[in-house]
């Protein structure tokens, strides 16, 4: 695949005519930021899933909004970014990679990270 | 000249008096270990008494003792904070001999003398009654190592006059066992009875060990800006105690390797780590190892999965004297750290003639004892246990509400009534019940058939672990001075690692005057190079002295393209070390402090 097929989420959203007001919801759903670069196929897959999810719930209701809030709270981020936010030092990151099999780009939630820290670094399980 | 005026210089007593050495930190290492008491700052000690006072009696102190015994003269120590395990001391199990209803009625309990002395470590205690009777007539012996060696026959001290009378025996590490005399004093003890219990060491999590290592790495000599030459980790992290598997072992090693590599990449400061492999002996926690081969297979697999030229792993275990003269089986990494401190840079810690381990008594375990729990016997009235030879007095067969124990005499007894219920042949594991059991399970200890002999030692050696051998006429020595480096690495031995590290450090020290210099012109470069080469020249063999670390060297200095803004000079040192005579190259940066 040529490098031309990789653009930011924002750029793909513009090209595939995703409404600008839908972009934040799109990003929240997949735990990505608008400036994150992805492949075209990857974006198309995400778009299909996003459209499927919006078709199922054309009229957002109160309970679904709550579920969405929970989803936002459990937003997945790349392991490297979460580790940096938690100020984990390099040896600790290396240990977690060995024990969990995560890589820098692996998307995880903060809860998953905390559970791994408790288990493999702090032995608080 | 007062030494206090020369911080960073280490005095040495020579024939003519007090000599002052150059400020090399070679041989100065840091011991990182877990303890429940003592400072968490870097503490320097030159005497085991200081360490005992500060950190109490545990693994940290024992390994420091091993290091001092093997030649270390000054050790930096960083304590990893630790906490006791949930069950830090077990209730004593009474192994009764013969008819258990006929005596041995003293009530027994274990505990800690003081919460501030909970520094006991992973020990298996036994008390054996030599003469039975009351507190005044009975005598006992203590074993601090699960029956490998026994102390002298002693009388019970009366520590509480009572009634009832009590006798508290302190185990010299903060723990005690206390007996309460029976209402009929003569029934208190029966000759041959044994009382066995475990004492766990406080354990540090991997996070706590990393934190302590970071503190050790952060320490720098104020004069030279250099730190410890290497760091020795005496304790295993909790994760390995909980599950002794490849993932946890590799995670531990990865943490240490990453610390060393980060230090080199960020500050160009070389360092390496020495740690212990998880021991072969049962850890008393969740533990699947049942044979010597299982243990060696695990270590060989770990070695294949993770290699680094900045890690040295000791797998040698020995029966060693401790700080109080008693015998204890433990990993002998402390001795390896001490020998490295004593050895010249280019001398192997495996040199048979010079590198003795004075406090070692025997390589252990040669034929180790393993435990089997809940082996199903079912309804078999006459059969064989899966493993043999069975250790006398270790067998307990549970059959519903009935518990059969072996009395050390080849007879099985009903524990509650003392009635003989069958026989056990220790050598073969052949058992026979007088009446068929209904659904029996057996717990016992057995002596493994696989010996920790030369072939198994060779497997460890091939996998680049430090291992121990007994050389007749000399004693116990390390087999070689392996680093856990990859098969093709030049840093396969501690000697090469030390020589290159020392060369880099010495060049760095020689560069110190230039850090605040006004600048080096192209004209000055020759003099600058001569200054940096001086320590390397001192390390080089001469006609008069061939016992030096390097055969030859080449230093290449390349000023950075932006030297006038960043002051960086790229330094390449090529060394031919005396031990291996194979060219090693170190490339690093020097900062001259030249800034506009």
Q: Which span out of A101-115, B321-335, B404-418 was modeled with the highest average pLDDT?
A: A101-115
Cβ separation of B255 and A122 shorter than 8 Å? no
Q: Tell me the average pLDDT across B511-523.
A: 75
In this predicted model, what pLDDT tens digit does every residue of B529-576 receive, in sequence order? Answer: 998 999 899 899 988 888 899 999 999 999 888 877 788 889 999 999
Cβ separation of B251 and A120 shorter than 8 Å? yes
Q: Using pLDDT thresholds of 50, 70 and 90, give the confidence band for residue A77.
A: very high
Q: Tell me the average pLDDT across B301-326.
A: 90
In this predicted model, what pLDDT tens digit does every residue of B251-267 receive, in sequence order? Answer: 999 999 999 999 999 98
Buried/exposed code over B74-95 (b: 16+ C-beta within 10 A; e: otherwise)? ebbbbbbbbbbbeebbeebebb
Q: Tell me the average pLDDT across A76-88.
A: 93
Say whether both B348 and B421 belong to one domain: no
Would an 8 Å CB–CB cutoff place B259 in contact with chain A? yes
For an interface test with B, the pick among A86, A88, A94 (most B C-beta atoms closer than 10 Å) comes out as: A94
Of B199, B221, B245, the position where a domain reaches its end is B199
Between CA B69 and CA B342 the distance in angstroms is 10
Do the beta carbons of residue A27 and residue A35 sit within 8 Å? no
Say whether both B268 and B139 belong to one domain: no
Say whether both A11 and A54 belong to one domain: yes
Considering Cα of A27, then A32, then A36, then A40, what sign does the dihedral take?
negative
Between CA B7 and CA B271 the distance in angstroms is 22
Between CA B461 and CA B521 the distance in angstroms is 52
Distance from CA of A116 to the nearest CA of B (A): 12
Determine the pLDDT at residue B281. Answer: 63
B19 pLDDT more than 50 = no
Determine the pLDDT at residue B308. Answer: 95
Give domain status of residue B100, yes or no: yes
Tokens matching residue B200: 């766990």
B114 pLDDT more than 70 = no
H helices of B243-305, where?
246-267, 292-305
Q: Is B25 or B258 the better-scoring residue by pLDDT?
A: B258
A94 pLDDT more than 90 = yes
**φ/ψ (deg, to 5) at A4:** -65, -20
Say whether both B72 and B102 belong to one domain: no
Q: Using pLDDT thresholds of 50, 70 and 90, give the confidence band for residue B17.
A: low
Determine the pLDDT at residue B306. Answer: 94
Say whether both B301 and B244 belong to one domain: yes
Say whether both B179 and B53 belong to one domain: no
Q: Using pLDDT thresholds of 50, 70 and 90, give the confidence band for residue B416.
A: confident
Give domain status of residue B495, yes or no: no
Between CA B578 and CA A110 the distance in angstroms is 53
Q: Tell me the average pLDDT across B587-594.
A: 82
* Chain A residues lying within 8 Å of B204, measured CB to CB: none
Residue B101: partners with Cβ closer than 8 Å, 6 or more residues away: B417, B418
For residues A36, A42, A47, A53, the Cα torsion angle rounded to the nearest 10 degrees is -100
In this predicted model, what pLDDT tens digit does every residue of B417-439 receive, in sequence order? Answer: 778 899 999 889 999 999 999 98
Say whether both A10 and A49 belong to one domain: yes
Of A57, A72, A87, the position where a domain reaches its end is A72
- Count of domains observed in chain B: 4
Give domain status of residue B272, yes or no: yes
Say whether both A110 and A52 belong to one domain: no
- DSSP state, residue B364: S
Q: Which residues pair with B80 in a beta bridge?
A: B34
Do the beta carbons of residue B572 and residue B587 sit within 8 Å? yes
In this predicted model, what pLDDT tens digit does every residue of A17-51 receive, in sequence order? Answer: 788 888 888 888 887 888 888 888 888 888 888 88
If one counts every other C-beta atom within 10 angstroms of the C-beta of residue B531, the result is 15
Say whether both A19 and A68 belong to one domain: yes
Distance from CA of B231 to the nearest CA of A (A): 15
Say whether both B56 and B125 belong to one domain: no
- The closest alpha carbon to B230, from B580, B583, B491, belongs to B491
Determine the pLDDT at residue B301. Answer: 95
| Lowest-confidence region among A47-56, A63-72, B370-379, B393-402 | A63-72
Determine the pLDDT at residue B182. Answer: 85
Give domain status of residue B4, yes or no: no
B286 pLDDT more than 60 = no
Determine the pLDDT at residue B10. Answer: 52
For helices B454-462 and B292-305, angle between their N-to-C axes, nearest 10 degrees: 10
Q: Which residues pair with B93 in a beta bridge?
A: B196
| Burial group, residue B106, by CB count within 10 angstroms (0-12, 13-18, 19+) | buried
Return the half-sphere exposure (C-beta side, CA atoms, 13 A cut-off) of residue B260: 23
Do the beta carbons of residue B203 and residue B151 sit within 8 Å? no
Cβ separation of B251 and A123 shorter than 8 Å? no
Map residue A121 onto helix, strand or coil: helix
In three state form, how does the secondary structure of B156-174 look? CCCCECCCCCEEEEECCCC
Q: Tell me the average pLDDT across B487-509.
A: 92
Determine the pLDDT at residue B122. Answer: 63
Between CA B271 and CA B229 the distance in angstroms is 6
Say whether both A64 and A8 belong to one domain: yes
Cα-only R_g, chain B: 28
Give domain status of residue B68, yes or no: yes
Say whether both B361 and B375 belong to one domain: no
* Chain B residues lying within 8 Å of A120, measured CB to CB: 206, 239, 251
Say whether both A81 and A110 belong to one domain: yes
Determine the pLDDT at residue B3. Answer: 44
Buried/exposed code over B31-69 (b: 16+ C-beta within 10 A; e: otherwise)? bbbbbbbbeeebbebeebeebbebbbbbbbbbbbbbbbb
* Chain A residues lying within 8 Å of B258, measured CB to CB: 90-91, 94
A116 pLDDT more than 80 = yes
Instruction: Identify the residue whose tokens are 């519903």.
Output: B400
Do the beta carbons of residue B366 and residue B451 sit within 8 Å? yes
* Chain B residues lying within 8 Å of A117, measured CB to CB: 207
In three state form, how does the secondary structure of B108-121 look? EEEEECCHHHCCCC
Give domain status of residue B493, yes or no: no
Would an 8 Å CB–CB cutoff place B373 in contact with chain A? no
Say whether both A22 and A56 belong to one domain: yes
Say whether both B240 and B349 belong to one domain: yes
Say whether both A56 and A22 belong to one domain: yes
Say whether both B346 and B256 belong to one domain: yes
Q: Is B183 or B305 the better-scoring residue by pLDDT?
A: B305
Say whether both B321 and B310 belong to one domain: yes
> How many residues does this entry show for chain B?
596
Determine the pLDDT at residue B287. Answer: 53
Of B425, B447, B469, the position where a domain reaches its end is B447
Determine the pLDDT at residue B591. Answer: 85
Between CA B41 and CA B79 the distance in angstroms is 7
In this predicted model, what pLDDT tens digit does every residue of B69-105 receive, in sequence order? Answer: 999 999 999 999 887 666 666 666 666 654 445 556 6
Tokens matching residue B534: 């001086």
Q: Which of A94, A121, A122 shows the shortest C-beta gap to B258?
A: A94
Say whether both A20 and A67 belong to one domain: yes
Say whether both B71 and B217 belong to one domain: yes
Do the beta carbons of residue B591 and residue B572 sit within 8 Å? no
Determine the pLDDT at residue B248. Answer: 93
- Count of domains observed in chain A: 2
Say whether both B515 and B569 belong to one domain: yes
- The closest alpha carbon to B268, from B495, B503, B41, B42, belongs to B503
Between CA B313 and CA B535 the distance in angstroms is 30
If one counts every other C-beta atom within 10 angstroms of the C-beta of residue B131, the result is 13
Say whether both A24 and A63 belong to one domain: yes
Q: Which domain holds residue A94?
A: 77-121
B595 pLDDT more than 70 = no
Share of chain B above pLDDT 70, in %: 85
Q: Which domain holds residue B68?
A: 23-83+203-366+453-478
With CA atoms as reference, the chain B residue closest to A123 would be B205
* Chain A residues lying within 8 Å of B205, measured CB to CB: 121-123
B407 pLDDT more than 70 = yes
Q: Which of B210, B237, B256 shows the shortest C-beta gap to A92?
A: B210
Cβ separation of B206 and A89 shorter than 8 Å? no
Q: Is A78 or B370 the better-scoring residue by pLDDT?
A: A78
Cβ separation of B210 and A89 shorter than 8 Å? yes
Q: Tell me the average pLDDT across B331-359.
A: 93
Between CA A30 and CA B503 the distance in angstroms is 52
In this predicted model, what pLDDT tens digit does every residue of B156-178 receive, in sequence order? Answer: 999 888 788 889 888 776 678 88
Task: State the pairing for strand pair B93-95/B107-112.
Answer: unpaired
**φ/ψ (deg, to 5) at B375:** -75, 130
Determine the pLDDT at residue B21. Answer: 46
Q: What is the CATH number of the domain that holds B216?
A: 3.40.50.11780
Say whether both A11 and A68 belong to one domain: yes
Map residue B325 onto helix, strand or coil: coil
Between CA B10 and CA B74 the distance in angstroms is 10
Give domain status of residue B505, yes or no: no
Determine the pLDDT at residue B309. Answer: 95
Share of chain A above pLDDT 90, in %: 37
Residue B349: partners with Cβ closer than 8 Å, 6 or more residues away: B336, B339, B340, B343, B355, B478, B481, B494
Say whether both A7 and A63 belong to one domain: yes
Average pLDDT, chain B: 84
Instruction: Identify the residue whose tokens are 């010996």.
Output: B451
Cβ separation of B258 and A90 shorter than 8 Å? yes
With CA atoms as reference, the chain A residue closest to B82 would be A122
Predicted TM-score (pTM) of the model is: 0.78
Distance from CA of B121 to the nearest CA of A (A): 19
For an interface test with A, the pick among B208, B211, B256, B258 (most A C-beta atoms closer than 10 Å) comes out as: B258
Q: Tell me the average pLDDT across A89-95.
A: 95
Q: Tell me the average pLDDT across B221-247.
A: 87
Determine the pLDDT at residue B576. Answer: 94
Tokens matching residue B330: 């433990």
Distance from CA of A77 to the nearest CA of B (A): 23
Determine the pLDDT at residue B117. Answer: 41
Distance from CA of A10 to the nearest CA of B (A): 36
Of B155, B177, B199, the position where a domain reaches its end is B199
Determine the pLDDT at residue B1. Answer: 38
Cβ separation of A94 and B254 shorter than 8 Å? yes
Share of chain B above pLDDT 90, in %: 38
Distance from CA of A75 to the nearest CA of B (A): 26
Do the beta carbons of residue B124 and residue B391 sit within 8 Å? no
B131 pLDDT more than 80 = yes
Distance from CA of B443 to the nearest CA of A (A): 29
With CA atoms as reference, the chain A residue closest to B238 would be A123
| Lowest-confidence region among B173-187, B454-468, B529-543 | B173-187
Give domain status of residue B497, yes or no: no
């Amino acid at each position: 695949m040529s490098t031309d097929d990789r653009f930011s989420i924002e750029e793909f959203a513009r090209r595939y005519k995703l409404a600008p007001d839908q972009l934040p919801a799109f990003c929240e759903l997949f735990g990505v930021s608008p400036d994150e670069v992805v492949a075209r196929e990857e974006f198309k897959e995400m778009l299909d899933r996003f459209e499927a999810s919006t078709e199922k719930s054309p009229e957002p209701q109160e309970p679904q909004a709550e579920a969405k809030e929970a989803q936002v709270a459990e937003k997945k981020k790349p392991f490297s970014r979460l580790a940096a936010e938690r100020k984990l030092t390099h040896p600790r990151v290396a240990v977690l990679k060995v024990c969990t099999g995560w890589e820098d780009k692996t998307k995880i939630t903060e809860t998953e990270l905390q559970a791994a820290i408790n288990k493999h670094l702090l032995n608080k399980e | 000249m007062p030494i206090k005026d020369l911080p960073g210089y280490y005095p040495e007593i020579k024939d003519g008096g007090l000599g002052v050495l150059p400020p090399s930190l070679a041989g100065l290492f840091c011991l990182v270990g877990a303890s429940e008491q003592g400072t968490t700052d870097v503490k320097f000690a030159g005497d085991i008494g200081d360490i005992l006072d500060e950190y109490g009696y545990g693994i940290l102190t024992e390994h420091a003792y091993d290091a001092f015994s093997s030649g270390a003269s000054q050790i930096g120590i960083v304590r990893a904070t630790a906490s006791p395990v949930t069950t830090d001391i077990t209730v004593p199990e009474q192994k009764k001999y013969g008819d258990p209803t006929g005596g041995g009625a003293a009530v027994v309990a274990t505990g800690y003398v003081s919460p501030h002395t909970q520094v006991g470590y992973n020990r298996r205690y036994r008390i054996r009654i030599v003469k039975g009777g009351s507190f005044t007539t009975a005598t006992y012996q203590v074993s601090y190592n699960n029956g490998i060696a026994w102390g002298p026959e002693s009388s019970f001290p009366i520590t509480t006059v009572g009634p009832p009378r009590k006798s508290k025996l302190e185990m010299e590490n903060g723990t005690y066992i206390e007996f309460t005399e029976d209402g009929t004093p003569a029934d208190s003890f029966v000759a041959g009875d044994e009382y066995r219990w475990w004492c766990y060491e406080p354990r540090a999590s991997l996070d706590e060990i990393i934190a302590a290592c970071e503190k050790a790495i952060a320490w720098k000599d104020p004069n030279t800006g250099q730190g410890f030459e290497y760091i020795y980790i005496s304790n295993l992290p909790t994760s390995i105690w909980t599950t002794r598997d490849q993932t946890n072992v590799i995670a531990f090693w990865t943490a240490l390797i990453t610390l060393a590599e980060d230090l080199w990449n960020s500050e160009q400061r070389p360092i390496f780590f020495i740690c212990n492999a998880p021991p072969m002996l049962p850890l008393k926690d969740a533990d699947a190892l049942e044979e010597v081969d299982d243990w060696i297979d695990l270590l060989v697999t770990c070695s294949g999965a993770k290699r680094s030229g900045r890690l040295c792993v000791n797998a040698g275990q020995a029966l060693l004297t401790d700080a109080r003269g008693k015998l204890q089986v433990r990993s002998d990494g402390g001795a390896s750290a001490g020998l490295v401190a004593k050895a010249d840079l280019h001398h192997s810690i495996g040199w048979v003639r010079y590198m003795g381990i004075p406090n070692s008594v025997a390589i252990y375990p040669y034929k180790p004892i393993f435990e089997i729990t809940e082996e199903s016997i079912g309804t078999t009235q006459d059969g064989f246990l899966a493993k043999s030879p069975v250790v006398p007095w270790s067998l307990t067969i549970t059959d519903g509400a009935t518990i059969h124990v072996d009395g050390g005499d080849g007879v099985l007894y009903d524990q509650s009534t003392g009635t003989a219920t069958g026989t056990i042949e220790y050598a073969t594991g052949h058992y026979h019940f007088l009446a068929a059991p209904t659904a029996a399970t057996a717990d016992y200890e057995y002596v493994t058939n696989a010996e920790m002999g030369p072939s198994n030692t060779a497997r460890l050696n091939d996998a680049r672990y430090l291992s121990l051998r007994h050389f007749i006429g000399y004693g116990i020595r390390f087999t070689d001075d392996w680093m856990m480096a990859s098969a093709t690495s030049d840093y396969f031995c501690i000697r090469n690692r030390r020589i290159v590290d020392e060369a880099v450090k010495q060049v760095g020290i020689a560069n110190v005057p230039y850090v605040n210099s006004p600048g080096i012109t192209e004209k000055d470069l020759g003099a600058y190079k001569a200054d940096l080469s001086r320590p390397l020249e001192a390390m080089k063999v001469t006609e008069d002295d061939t016992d030096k670390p390097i055969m030859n060297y080449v230093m290449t200095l390349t000023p950075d393209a932006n030297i006038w803004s960043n002051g960086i000079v790229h330094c390449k040192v090529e060394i031919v070390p005396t031990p291996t005579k194979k060219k090693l190259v170190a490339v690093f940066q020097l900062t001259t402090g030249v800034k506009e």
